[in-house]
Amino acid sequence: MIEQGESGDKTFHGVLETSQAQGMQTFGQDLLRLFEQGEILEHTALLAATDRARLRIRLDELKARQGRSGDELPLRGLEEDWDADLR
């Protein structure tokens, strides 16, 4: 990167993130794409992510653009299980 006139403050990850037009992407970007297309759930993307903090930010931005809010973890049935465990 430096040999080609790029500044030293660019990281490899940063270059990948900004080079989608050239066919490059990060694992997090692909997880975000899969989530956006409904192929995987949010918590699955976060569990698989190599940089969860960065992916969390991108997921929140995407959900804000779509008018969705908060965590959307599938909790159906878990509430009943939790109550049963407390008895």
User: What is the chain's pLDDT, residue by residue, as a tens digit (87 residues)?
Assistant: 456 655 655 666 666 666 666 666 888 999 999 999 999 999 999 999 999 999 999 999 999 998 876 555 554 555 455 455 555
Taking the model in full, what pTM does it have?
Answer: 0.61
Q: Which of 40, 36, 12 is nearest to 26 (CA)?
A: 12
**Domain residue ranges in the chain:** 12-86
